[in-house]
């Protein structure tokens, strides 16, 4: 009997061994087959998924750390059609809390597109509103009878970032805006869109929430620090808005720049828009050039160009400050008669008197004495008719006709000398005039002060665009412009500070003819002239109280300059001179 049991045990053991061997062989075959690769890939797909991570857009600050553009969380509200229980409750809640259309939401939930299990019923919902709805959903769930679901079951909340502008319309023309697709338009937002947006990253991430630590960190977009002074920007916008009312102007611009390095300190224009409501753009602006006229709307600037003509005449040796001429009130250039602004003769004048009285005949005399070749060469070196390279989107080049152009005529040599028959933006004129304020060197205007990324700050160096005139010419002309303002008791004078500057009154072409009742009133000035820290450009469009820049733009310059020296903490001349003497 024992032998019989022993034989059975041996047979059973042999059979089990064969089965075990067969299993091992089969496992080895499967692991090394193509089938196994598919199984492993499927297992991998269940464990990981390919996802795209978008970085937070970089923030924008002013030079003193005030936030101008940031990000906030908003919510997408959707409905899971597999779990929704009461479409009426969801539609009623959203119509009550968000003002959404009840019928639209009901129709969306009841008649969804084929194949969808999730539909969006509202987006860009503020956090406070989303929180109220979440609390309501929770309360209804708690009040529901045991074993049932609350009325807002199926309503889901997904947060995502949205661009936020805490200063609303302040500096809107400089900053620009970002639409809901994340694309920047105008200003800094468009010019530095790629830097601000950062780089999306595609990676495999675990689907197992216990492995969330494996999700990679995506670097945020680059943060930008602007040269803009938020307080000075606010003051410029306030002064501009009040000036439009006081002088009955249809629009205006005030730009403040440091002539030593091209840093834009403020740039106020009209109209402006609340950047948080960028969808109103079309109802505020007729054309893209309206968004920032300081860089995108060339106009005939008039007599402010006379400072460039005088700079060219002095630098070329055509005249010296003491050179005199007999002003008869008119001059013939290219077969056309050019007259002074008042159509009167001014007798014997030196070059400072020529600037003080803003004599068109004097300027036309200088340009014709220089000749077209020399005059236009200087204007080209000043950058007229060219882009300045300012780092704001939407800049326009303006137009300076030159001999050889189909529409250039010999009379243009005379009219261009006092800013007529050519167009430029305030930014172009300021860049050209910086050569006078900055001892002969032209600065490139810019709005970016520094970039911040990965905890490091990279400052933007000043850039220079050439030396069209000598230091001696620049310093002499700056003094002449200061004397001309002081001699006439200009409304542009700033108590305690010696400033240089020039008015401009340009008639506006209407239907091919200049309308003497409609003008662009301008003023450009800088100071203190011994150490210029600011340059201010004022442009008032079609002022109705007076057509003259000396009576409208000049006093606006003075008010803006007084506010600038306070906010920039620039001591009066006598205090600075005492400090230098010590």
Count Cβ atoms below 10 Å from residue 440 Cβ, excluding itself: 20
Say if CB 316 and CB 473 are below 8 A apart: no
- Please give the class, per CATH, of domain 230-581: alpha beta
Say if CB 254 and CB 268 are below 8 A apart: yes
Rounded CA-CA distance 363/416 in Å is 9
Contacts of 269 (CB under 8 A, 6+ apart): 173, 240, 251, 252, 253, 292, 293, 294
- Please give the class, per CATH, of domain 73-164: alpha beta
Q: For residue 355, give both structure tokens.
A: 């600037």
Domain span(s) for CATH 3.30.1390 in the chain: 73-164
Low-confidence ranges of the chain (pLDDT < 50): 1, 39, 43
Of 380, 430, 427, the closest CA to residue 532 belongs to 430
Of 256, 379, 413, 371, the closest CA to residue 307 belongs to 379
Rounded CA-CA distance 468/474 in Å is 10
pLDDT of residue 512: 77
Q: Which residues pair with 538 in a beta bridge?
A: 254, 523
Domain span(s) for CATH 3.40.710.10 in the chain: 230-581
The four Cα atoms 546, 549, 554, 560 give a dihedral, to 10 degrees, of: 90
3-state secondary structure of 304: helix
What is the DSSP annotation of 78-124? EEETTT---HHHHHHHHHHHH---HHHHHHHHHSPPTT-SEEEEEEE
pLDDT of residue 24: 60
Count Cβ atoms below 10 Å from residue 84 Cβ, excluding itself: 20
pLDDT of residue 318: 97
Q: Which residue has the tokens 């479409």?
A: 87
Of 390, 392, 23, 10, the closest CA to residue 186 belongs to 392
Helix and strand counts by DSSP (H, E) for the chain: 20, 20
Say if CB 533 and CB 568 are below 8 A apart: yes
* N-terminal to C-terminal alpha carbon distance within the chain: 127
Q: Cα–Cα distances in Å, from 13 out to 10, 242, 380, 464?
A: 5, 105, 103, 94
pLDDT of residue 207: 60
pLDDT of residue 206: 67
- Name the burial class of residue 97, with classes exposed (0-12), middle (13-18) and buried (19+) by CB atoms within 10 angstroms of its CB: middle
Rounded CA-CA distance 432/307 in Å is 10
Angle of helix 360-370 versus helix 306-315 axis, rounded to 10:
40
| Backbone torsions φ then ψ of 28, nearest 5 degrees | -65, -40
| pTM of the predicted protein model | 0.85
């Amino acid at each position: 009997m024992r032998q019989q049991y022993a034989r059975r045990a041996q047979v059973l053991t042999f059979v089990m061994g064969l089965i075990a061997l067969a299993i091992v062989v089969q496992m080895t075959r499967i692991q090394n087959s193509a089938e196994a690769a598919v199984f492993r890939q499927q297992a991998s797909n269940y464990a990981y998924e390919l996802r795209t991570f978008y970085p937070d857009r970089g923030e924008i600050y002013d030079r003193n750390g005030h936030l101008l553009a940031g990000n906030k969380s908003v919510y997408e509200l959707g409905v899971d059609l597999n779990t929704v229980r009461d479409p009426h409750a969801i539609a009623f809640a959203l119509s009550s809390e968000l003002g959404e259309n009840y019928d639209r939401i009901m129709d969306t939930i009841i008649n969804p597109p084929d194949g969808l299990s999730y539909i969006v019923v509202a987006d860009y919902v503020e956090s406070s509103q989303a929180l109220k709805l979440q609390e309501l959903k929770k309360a209804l769930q708690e009040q529901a009878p045991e074993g049932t679901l609350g009325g807002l079951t199926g309503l889901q909340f997904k947060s995502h970032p949205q661009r936020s502008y805490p200063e609303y319309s302040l500096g809107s023309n400089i900053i620009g805006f970002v639409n809901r697709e994340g694309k920047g338009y105008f200003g800094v937002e468009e010019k530095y869109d790629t830097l601000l947006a950062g780089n999306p990253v595609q990676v495999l991430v675990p689907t197992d929430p216990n492995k969330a630590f494996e999700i990679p960190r995506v670097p945020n977009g680059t943060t930008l620090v602007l040269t803009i002074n938020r307080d000075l920007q606010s003051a410029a916008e306030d002064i501009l808005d009040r000036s439009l009312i006081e002088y009955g102007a249809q629009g205006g611009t005030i730009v403040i720049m440091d002539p030593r390095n091209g840093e834009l300190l403020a740039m106020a224009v009209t109209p402006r828009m609340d950047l948080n409501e960028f969808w109103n753009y079309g109802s505020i602006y007729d054309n893209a050039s309206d968004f920032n006229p300081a860089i995108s709307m060339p106009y005939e600037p008039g007599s402010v160009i006379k400072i460039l003509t005088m700079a060219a005449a002095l630098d070329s040796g055509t005249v010296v400050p003491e050179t005199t001429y007999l002003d008869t009130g008119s001059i013939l250039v290219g077969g056309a008669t050019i007259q002074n602004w008042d159509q009167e003769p001014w007798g014997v004048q030196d070059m400072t008197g020529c600037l003080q009285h803003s004599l068109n005949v004097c300027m036309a005399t200088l340009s014709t004495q220089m000749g077209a070749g020399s005059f236009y060469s200087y204007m080209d070196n000043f950058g007229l008719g060219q882009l300045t390279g300012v780092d704001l989107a939407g800049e326009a080049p303006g137009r300076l006709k030159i001999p050889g152009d189909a529409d250039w005529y010999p009379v243009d040599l005379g009219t261009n000398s006092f800013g007529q028959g050519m167009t430029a933006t305030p930014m172009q004129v300021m860049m050209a005039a910086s050569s006078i304020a900055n001892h002969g060197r032209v600065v490139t205007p810019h709005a970016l002060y520094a970039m911040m990324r990965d905890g490091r700050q990279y400052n933007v160096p000043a850039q220079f665009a050439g030396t069209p005139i000598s230091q001696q010419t620049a310093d002499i002309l700056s003094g002449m412009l200061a004397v001309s303002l002081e001699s006439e008791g200009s409304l542009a004078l700033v108590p305690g500070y010696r400033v240089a500057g020039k008015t401009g009154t340009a008639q506006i072409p209407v239907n091919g003819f200049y309308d003497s009742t409609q003008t662009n009133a301008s003023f450009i000035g800088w100071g203190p002239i011994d150490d210029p820290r600011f340059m201010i450009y004022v442009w008032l469009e079609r002022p109705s109280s007076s057509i003259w820049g000396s009576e409208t733009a000049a006093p606006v310059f003075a008010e803006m300059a007084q506010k600038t020296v306070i906010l920039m903490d620039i001591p009066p001349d006598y205090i600075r001179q005492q400090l230098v003497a010590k």
